[in-house]
């Protein structure tokens, strides 16, 4: 790619200089002040940061060019399993950007944020209705933090009831990786249990390990194989009979909105991922929101502050003596709540249900259209995602990684790979409801073409991707001693550039 032109020695398609800028250039102009200059206390004036001096056009070109190197759902299909990378309607962005919401200062007195509180309170109500639960806290900043909150609630609940201590939480092998981590972070011991040959958890397996030292079970439903835990009611009953609680990981809610109410099938605590199911662009570690929804008996332990109605106004109250306390500054990530609220209202109950139905239909469509060329470890109807493996291609020494990289050359974001761990060489595809049948067909054609290439031109796959800005990264080097050293050097340089001296 970086071959210079023979005639000129210049590298084609590359900006001639990476380091741009020249002392004295500027990309901004501030309006002249309409108040007299205040004297500056020299003691408080530092040196300016070491940023390059750039003109406006330099800055615009730099960021616009960078944006074309990235892949997003606004550029193409992003079937990253377990992440629900669906298209998020721009109307929800517009709502979140309304100045009354976006510019509200978190320290405004309650009288001036009645609208914001009303929105949050109504959103809590909608989420409770959708999940069949009684009370909601919008505070957790991500799914994983919702899980931790849930574990803390389980702990607080058992403490409040006295009795012998319970130290264990059952976690099936098809749970999301954050589940055992949250269990351990809270000080519980995760007890792993295996799913059956049907890819789901059986009541017998749970019965064998559930005892009075176990605080509860944490179950992802639909699970990470994209399968619905059909025995959930029987499992919940077993756990309840022994005094335990049932935590539901509801990050996969996109499969069951308006179809299954988790509160009706035995779940006591559930988190949702607003940034997956309810319209917030995500990825790259941006802000998230993982509300927890609980049954009435767990409500006293929810994080504070909580939104309470006082006659004709709403207020934030810390007056919940049994609460597990605060999990986030202020009230959580408000902008994401606005998007979820706007999404729920603009869709309405019928369309939320239809979105889930289409998400499930799309995943099953892909599953059926690809199962003759890719190994399908669990051949049964799936929910919002389907999981293949590289078993057949490995006979030709072509791996899931090779196929995923090659998909980039066809203009698709790769699916989630090597997860869930219960499937060797897993390829987890979640198309979501926002892809049309034409897009799905293009994706299916691309995968089928890649499978053919694996037989006829395997080098194309081993060297893929050939088209995107970055070629295949050297994964071995990335984990080597030198890779670590290089990363440290880069970090140092970054710290130097960004430090305000």
Ligand X SMILES: *Cc1c(COP(=O)(O)O)cnc(C)c1O
Which is nearer to ligand X, 46 or 284 (by Cβ)? 284
Give residue number: closest CB to ligand X.
143
In the structure encoding, which two tokens stand for residue 180, read together? 């055992």
Q: Which is nearer to ligand X, 158 or 275 (CB)?
A: 275
Q: Measured from the CB atom, is 265 or 308 closer to ligand X?
A: 265
Interatomic CA distance for residues 181 and 189, integer angstroms? 10
Q: How far is the CB of 138 from ligand X (least distance, A)?
A: 14
Question: With binding defined as CB under 6 A, does residue 450 bind ligand X?
Answer: no
- Candidates 142-150, 188-196, 327-335, 455-463: pick the segment binding ligand X (CB under 6 A): 142-150
CB closer to ligand X, 130 vs 314: 130
Site membership for ligand X, residue 254 (CB under 6 A): no
Residue with smaller CB distance to ligand X, 139 or 178: 178
3-state secondary structure of 442: helix
For residue 473 the two structure tokens come to: 């990264």
Ranges within 148-187 binding ligand X (CB under 6 A): 176, 178
List 77, 82, 139, 338, residue binding ligand X (CB under 6 A): 82
Could you say whether residue 290 binds ligand X (CB under 6 A)? yes
Identify which of residues 148 and 454 has a Cβ nearer to ligand X in the complex. Answer: 148
Asked if 214 and 170 count as a contact pair (C-beta separation under 8 A), the reply is yes
Positions 217 through 236 that interact with ligand X (CB under 6 A) = 220
Residue 265 CA to residue 248 CA, distance in Å, equals 10
Q: What's the closest the beta carbon of residue 426 comes to ligand X, in angstroms?
A: 14
Among 216, 244, 288, 465, binds ligand X (CB under 6 A): 288
Q: What is the distance between the alpha carbons of residues 148 and 153, in angstroms, rounded to a whole number?
A: 9
Report d(CA 103, CA 167) in Å as an integer. Answer: 45
What span, in angstroms and rounded, lies between the C-alpha atoms of 182 and 169?
10
Q: Which residues is 219 bridged to in the sheet? A: 248
Residue 201 near ligand X by CB under 6 A: no
Site for ligand X in 13-72 (CB under 6 A): none
**Residues recorded for the chain:** 501
- Our finding on whether 144 is near ligand X (CB under 6 A) is yes
Neighbours of 313 (CB within 10 A): 12
* CA 59 – CA 158 distance, rounded (Å): 56
| Residue number with CB closer to ligand X (178 or 399) | 178
If the CB atoms of residues 85 and 347 are measured against ligand X, the closer one turns out to be: 85
Please identify which residue in 124, 229, 231, 249 interacts with ligand X, judged by CB under 6 A: 249
- The reply on whether position 435 binds ligand X by CB under 6 A is no
Candidates 202, 252, 389, 393; binder of ligand X (CB under 6 A) is 252
- Is 92 an interacting residue with respect to ligand X (CB under 6 A)? no
Q: Is 333 among the residues that bind ligand X (CB under 6 A)?
A: no
Q: Interface with ligand X includes 244 (CB under 6 A)? A: no
- Decide if 421 contacts 348 (C-beta within 8 A): no
Residue 280 in the binding site for ligand X (CB under 6 A): no
Taken in order 398, 399, 404, 408, the sign of the CA dihedral is negative
Binding-site size for ligand X (CB under 6 A) equals 13
The answer to whether 280 and 302 have CB atoms below 8 angstroms apart is no
Query: What is d(CA 498, CA 491) in angstroms, rounded to the nearest whole number?
Result: 10
Interactions with ligand X, residue window 399-418 (CB under 6 A): none
**Which residue stretch of 139-147, 291-299, 404-412, 458-466 sits at the interface with ligand X (rule: CB under 6 A)?**
139-147
What sign results for the dihedral spanned by CA atoms 209, 210, 216, 222?
Answer: positive
Query: Judged by CB, which is closer to ligand X: 176, or 406?
Result: 176
* Short-list 237, 206, 217, CA closest to 170: 217
Closest distance of CB 220 from ligand X, Å? 5
Nearer to ligand X, 183 or 461 (CB): 183
Q: Are 84 and 276 in contact (CB under 8 A)?
A: yes
At 228, give phi and psi (nearest 5°). Answer: -80, 130
Q: Does 142 bind ligand X (CB under 6 A)?
A: yes
Which one, 82 or 214, has the nearer CB to ligand X? Answer: 82
Coil, strand or helix at 458? helix
3-class secondary structure, 427:
strand
In the chain, the N- to C-terminal Cα span, in Å, equals: 39
Binding positions for ligand X, rule: CB under 6 A: 82, 142-144, 176, 178, 220, 249, 251-252, 273, 288, 290
């Amino acid at each position: 790619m970086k071959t210079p032109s023979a005639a000129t020695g210049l590298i084609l398609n590359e900006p001639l200089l990476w380091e741009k800028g020249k002392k004295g250039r500027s990309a901004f102009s501030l309006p002249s002040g309409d108040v007299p200059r205040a004297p500056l206390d020299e003691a408080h004036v530092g040196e300016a940061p070491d940023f390059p001096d750039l003109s406006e056009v330099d800055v615009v070109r730099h960021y616009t060019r960078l944006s074309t190197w990235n892949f997003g759902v606004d550029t193409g299909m992003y079937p990253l399993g377990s992440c629900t990378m669906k298209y998020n309607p721009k109307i929800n962005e517009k709502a979140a950007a309304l100045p009354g919401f976006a510019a509200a200062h978190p320290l405004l007195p309650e009288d001036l944020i009645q609208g914001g509180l009303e929105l949050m309170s109504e959103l809590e109500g909608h989420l409770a209705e959708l999940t069949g639960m009684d009370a909601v806290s919008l505070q957790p900043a991500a799914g994983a933090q919702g899980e931790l909150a849930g574990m803390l609630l389980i702990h607080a609940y058992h403490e409040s009831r006295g009795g012998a201590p319970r130290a264990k939480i059952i976690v099936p092998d098809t749970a999301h990786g954050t589940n055992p981590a949250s269990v351990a972070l809270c000080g519980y011991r995760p007890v792993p249990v295996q799913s059956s040959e049907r890819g789901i958890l059986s009541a017998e397996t749970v019965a064998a390990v559930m005892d009075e030292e176990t605080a509860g079970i944490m179950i992802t439903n639909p699970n990470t194989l994209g399968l619905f835990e059909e025995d959930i009611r029987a499992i919940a009953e077993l756990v309840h009979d022994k005094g335990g609680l049932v935590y539901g990981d509801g990050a996969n809610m996109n499969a069951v909105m308006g179809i299954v109410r988790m509160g009706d099938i035995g779940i006591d605590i559930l988190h949702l991922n607003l940034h997956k199911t309810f319209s917030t662009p995500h990825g790259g570690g941006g802000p998230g929101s993982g509300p927890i929804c609980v049954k009435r008996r767990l409500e006293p332990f929810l994080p504070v502050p909580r939104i309470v109605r006082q006659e004709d106004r709403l207020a934030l109250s810390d007056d919940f003596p049994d609460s597990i306390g605060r999990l986030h500054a202020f009230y959580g990530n408000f902008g994401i709540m606005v998007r979820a609220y706007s999404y729920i209202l603009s869709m309405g109950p019928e369309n939320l249900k239809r979105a889930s139905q289409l998400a499930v239909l799309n995943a099953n469509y892909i599953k059926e259209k690809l199962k003759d060329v890719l190994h399908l470890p669990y051949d049964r109807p799936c929910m919002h995602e389907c999981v293949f493996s590289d078993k057949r291609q490995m006979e030709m020494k072509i791996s899931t990684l090779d196929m995923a990289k090659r998909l980039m050359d066809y203009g698709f974001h790769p699916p989630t790979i090597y997860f869930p761990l219960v499937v060797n060489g897993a390829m987890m595809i979640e198309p979501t409801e926002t892809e049309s049948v034409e897009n799905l067909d293009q994706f299916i054609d691309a995968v089928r073409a890649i499978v053919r290439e694996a037989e006829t031109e395997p080098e194309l796959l081993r060297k893929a991707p050939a088209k995107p800005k970055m070629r295949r990264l050297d994964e071995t080097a990335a984990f080597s001693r030198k890779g670590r050293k290089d990363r440290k050097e880069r970090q140092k340089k970054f710290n130097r550039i960004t430090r305000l001296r």
